[in-house]
A and B are shown apart, each in its own frame.
Chain A
Amino acid sequence: QKEVEQNSGPLSVPEGAIASLNCTYSDRGSQSFFWYRQYSGKSPELIMFIYSNGDKEDGRFTAQLNKASQYVSLLIRDSQPSDSATYLCAVKGGNYGGSQGNLIFGKGTKLSVKP
């Protein structure tokens, strides 16, 4: 079982809609959770991080964390074509393969926002 799971997509939403991106992780000891955006041919760019259960909002982005369900999500409100990218979920902490504290990434979900 992969340690950080994401649906690879593509997820297609119309402009102005809410895009919902989901991620599950296997290690209950995980402490912190990150969402990165990666445009094609570019490097990952940090969008948000969340440490505590609940919601964290930053502009059009909301990260949601449920540690009991080992689930983290990213909501993008009023989606724009410029949001079209691959979104990477990353998890830190716990004991993934003995490497505590390093970011473990999912494969990413490709989001396409149609004008």
Chain B
Amino acid sequence: GAGVSQSPRYKVAKRGQDVALRCDPISGHVSLFWYQQALGQGPEFLTYFQNEAQLDKSGLPSDRFFAERPEGSVSTLKIQRTQQEDSAVYLCASSSYRDSGYTFGSGTRLTVV
């Protein structure tokens, strides 16, 4: 596609509920990143994929967070048993190779109530 597409745009979850956030990167982009952005903060790195391989997941805040990219294109970020501190905007970005600037999607704003 022309840009990075994320869905849903907004998600309200009750505490304890599981959520799945989807990212469809730019066609042909090898690298895919997930970031978390809290209000008034810069994006914080969560995880990185090169094709279908998850090469870095050091930023995932707990084992409740899980990401996958099984066919090397669409990626899903799953958060289990959501907590209020998970409320943030989740940004997906892709790039044609790792050492270049990223193109971000519009993000998913998650609110846990």
* B43: chain A residues within 8 A (beta carbon): 44, 88, 103, 105
Residue from the list A31, A32, A88, A102 in contact with B45, Cβ < 8 A: A102
Given contacts A105-B42, A107-B40, A107-B42, contact A97 B102 (CB under 8 A): no
Q: Is the CB of A97 within 8 A of B42?
A: no
Q: Is the CB of B104 within 8 A of A45?
A: yes
Q: Is the CB of A42 within 8 A of B102?
A: no
Please report whether the interface of chain B is mostly helix, strand, loop or mixed according to DSSP: loop
Q: Is the CB of A49 within 8 A of B101?
A: yes
Q: Is the CB of B99 within 8 A of A92?
A: yes
Q: Is the CB of B106 within 8 A of A34?
A: no
Q: Is the CB of B103 within 8 A of A46?
A: yes
- A1 part of interface (Cβ distance < 8 Å): no
Residue from the list A92, A98, A106 in contact with B42, Cβ < 8 A: A106
- B65 part of interface (Cβ distance < 8 Å): no
Q: Is the CB of B107 within 8 A of A43?
A: yes
- B62 part of interface (Cβ distance < 8 Å): no
Q: Which residue of A lies closest to B98 (CB)?
A: A101
Q: How far is the CA of A49 from the CA of B33 in the complex (A)?
A: 18
* B45: chain A residues within 8 A (beta carbon): 99, 102-104
Q: Is the CB of B106 within 8 A of A42?
A: yes
- B91 part of interface (Cβ distance < 8 Å): yes
Range class of the A interface residue count = 20 to 34
Q: Is the CB of B91 within 8 A of A44?
A: yes
Q: Is the CB of A105 within 8 A of B44?
A: yes
Q: Is the CB of A34 within 8 A of B101?
A: yes
Q: Is the CB of A103 within 8 A of B102?
A: yes
Q: How far is the CA of A32 from the CA of B95 in the complex (A)?
A: 15
Q: How far is the CA of A34 from the CA of B99 in the complex (A)?
A: 11
Given contacts A97-B58, A98-B58, A102-B33, contact A88 B42 (CB under 8 A): yes
Q: How far is the CA of A105 from the CA of B44 in the complex (A)?
A: 7
Q: How far is the CA of A90 from the CA of B48 in the complex (A)?
A: 16
* B25: chain A residues within 8 A (beta carbon): none
| Residue of A31, A44, A88 with most partner-chain B CB within 10 A | A44
**What are 7 A-B residue pairs whose CB atoms fall within 8 Å in the complex?**
A8-B40, A42-B106, A46-B101, A97-B58, A99-B45, A101-B98, A102-B59
